[in-house]
Structure formats: C-alpha cells, structure tokens
Amino acid sequence: MAAGRFTLAVSPHLHQKGQTIERGMTDVLIALTPAGIVAMIVFGMNAFYVMLVSVLTACLTEVVMRWVLGRKHTLRDLSAVLTGVLFAFLLPATTPLWVVAVGAFLAVGVAKELFGGLGRNIFNPALFARVALMVSPLWLYITKFPRPFFYRTVGFFTPVSVAINNEVAGRVVYRGLFGSVYPDVVTAATPLSLLKSGKMLATTISGPTPVGSTWVTVAGRPTFWAQFLGVHSGSLGEVSVLALAIGACWLLYRRTIDWRIPAGIFGAFLLVTLVTWNYPVFSLLGGGLWLGAFFMATDWVTSPMTRRGKWIYGVGIGLTIALIRLWSPLPEGVAIAILQWNVLTLLIDRYVAEPRFGEVGRSWLNRLPPYPKPGKAEPDKPVPAN
C-alpha cells in the first residue's frame, strides 16, 4: 500500500506534556540554582569559574567523544551541562581550573560516554570523577577548602608542585601562571573533617575566623546557623543545607525524583546516628548528605526503578554512609556509598521482584520462566500494520 495520508503509529498517541529528558535535566538544574547562588556568595568568583570551566569542559567532551565514537550528538538533552554543574558542586572553590577540566573530562568522557552514553552508564558521572581524582595524584587540589568569603582568584594553570601547604598552619600556597603567589589562601577544616579528626571537642583550630561573629563559629566549629545557611568551608554545592532543601522541594514537586530514595537514605542514616549518638544534628546538617541524597543518589540512570528496589537502595546508601562515618577514616562517605550502590543497582533491578497487580506472596527474587530460551529461532510474526 502506498503511504497514506496520515502516519501510522502504535498507541498511545498522546505523550505527557513536558515529560522529556531535557525537561528532567532542566528541573535538576533549576533545583541546583539556589545552591549555586550561595556558592557564589560564599566563595566569590572562584566558584563561578569552577562551574563555568566544568560545564564547558563537560559539553566539549561530550561533543568530541560522540563525534569520535560516531554517535549522534546529544548536547540538547542537557545531561552534559548537568554533569558539569554537579561535578563543580563537589569541588572546593579554589580548585585550579585545569584540575576541574580534567575531572569534567573524566565524568563525561569516561564515566558516561565510554560506558555507552546517557542511559547506559553504571556510575554517577560526577561522583565517579570526584572519586577518580581523589585516588589520583591530584587529590591534594580537591581536599583543601577555602574559608568562606575568601575571594582571591586562583589561576588556571597553578602547577602541582607548589600546591603543597604547610598544613599545620592551615595554609595553602597557590601560585598563578606567571609566578604570582597567593600565600594567603587560607583553608579551613570542613565540618565533616572536624568530626573525623576528633576535633569536634577541641577548643580552637588555628587560623583567623572568617567573619568573626559568634553565630558563624563557636569554639572553632560552625554553628547550626552557619551550617544551615552555608557560611562555612566545604565544596561548592554542599555548604548550604537551606539552598539544597529548596532545590529538593522543587524536584519532589515536579516528580523528577522519587521520594523513596532520599527517605531511605535519611531514615537509615538518622537511625544509626541516633543509636550510636554520633553528633546526630551536626551530621544531619552536613550538606554533602543533602547533595548526595537528593541530587546524586536519585540520578535516573544509576538508581533502581521499582519501589522495592528504591527502598533497598536508599536504605543501603544511608547505612553505608553512617558506617563509613563511624568506623572508617575515609572522608568521602557519601560519594563512595552512592557509587557502591550504583553498581548494586543493576543487580537490584535484575533480581529483586516487584509483586505484580493482584499477586500475593511473590518471592523477592525474580526467576526466569522454565522453558528454554528460544533466541532467534521463532520467525517474526507479521504484526498487523500498526
């Protein structure tokens, strides 16, 4: 039959308005905006440059990689932009920009495109890049966190060798491209590292307090309000719990993410922290937890799809974070916990059975039906014209 007047298509013939990949990505970007603004207030232009370089590198990497791999280019779906922003959010504002570029390349080029592109990646690209840098010789660059309101700009090509500090004094010396020296990049311990290093109860740590007012720090550690609003040191995106919470509300309202995953994470984490009385309020206000629970663990591609799966995954991440904080010296609890459960996601989706409509007492394990795999033996039946 010659092509008719109208196109044929399989039902349904309607599609949910605004339910597209780019809309989902846009929603996450919108949700990250408050945290981005706080980052720029607290860390100044450094924060902006880090984000800019991260996003540009991520996009460039995607274009080049897809071109090399002979794939259709997909910049339009905004996933590279999102990865860029998320990765920037995991870095200190004083990260030399070339290190940012290397990380953004790892995120998009390796963690996403080499695994097959959006949808086939196993790891959350931003977290993957962050942890990859941590285990690389570049780790020093991304573990020195500037004090809030330190606005001096750091150069693009700060060489590795001079980024060594004298840690006792809590200072890092950065040097710009032409030898300009910024001796006074004062770093500060992040709340979490305080907790880790057992300094929570120490009376002072060295270095001047950033603003000097007592609502920001008390006895050398950030107060509740400083943590809530974001006036303390840490990576770009994680400082302000308030900003992240606003973004989280947007994602939940738009149903971009499923509430079960953050609920599982917070629930399990809180439970362990309460039982062990490991600074519950202080830990809960760690921005890393919020950024991880609402923006990283809920990544569509790398989290499970069924309700049961989401609960297992969420609770699993919450427990893992709590355990890492309790018993291991690793500072990157959230990142490592999420990456670990990213891997388990595939197993969860494959094996954890969701009970069907009307099914009672379905076992928790999916089982293949008993008959042999037909493979391609069965000839394709002519399906009716539609």
337 vs 314: CA distance, rounded Å = 10
Contact status: 198 vs another protein (CB under 8 A): no
Q: Which of 255, 264, 230, 256 is nearest to 244 (CA)?
A: 230
Six token digits for residue 323 = 């355990």
Q: Which of 80, 74, 81 is closest to 33 using CA atoms? A: 81
Site string for another protein, 208-237 (x = CB under 8 A): ------------------------------
Report in angstroms how near the CB of residue 169 gets to another protein at its nearest. Answer: 48
Does residue number 263 form part of the binding site for another protein (CB under 8 A)? no
Told to check if 3 binds another protein by CB under 8 A, we report yes
CB 310, min distance to another protein, A: 8
Q: Which stretch binds another protein (CB under 8 A): 135-143, 229-237, 273-281, 378-386?
A: 378-386
Cis ω for the linkage preceding 210 (within 30 of 0): no
How far apart, in Å, are the Cα atoms of 130 and each of 92, 175, 237, 241, 334? 11, 23, 13, 21, 11
Interface characters, 16-35, with another protein (x: CB under 8 A): xx-xxx-xx-----------
Q: Does 376 bind another protein (CB under 8 A)?
A: yes
- As a whole number of angstroms, the distance between CA 11 and CA 294 comes to 34
Q: Interface mask (CB under 8 A) for another protein, residues 66-85, using x and -?
A: -----------x--------
- Binding of another protein at residue 262 (CB under 8 A)? no
Question: What is the spatial distance between Cα 181 and Cα 350, in angstroms, rounded to a whole number?
Answer: 54
Instruction: Tell whether residue 303 is a contact of another protein (CB under 8 A).
Output: yes
Contact 211, 149 (CB under 8 A): yes
Q: Does 112 bind another protein (CB under 8 A)?
A: no
Q: Which stretch binds another protein (CB under 8 A): 3-11, 203-211, 230-238, 330-338?
A: 3-11
User: Tokens 């920009």 identify what position?
Assistant: 97
Name which position in 34, 237, 304, 314 contacts another protein (CB under 8 A).
304
Place of tokens 């597209």: 20
> Rounded to whole angstroms, how far apart are CA atoms 133 and 129?
6
Whichever of 120 and 202 has its CB closer to another protein, that residue is 120
Q: Where does this chain bind another protein (CB under 8 A)?
A: 1, 3-17, 19-21, 23-24, 77, 116-120, 258, 300-307, 310, 349, 354-360, 366-369, 371-376, 378, 381, 383-386
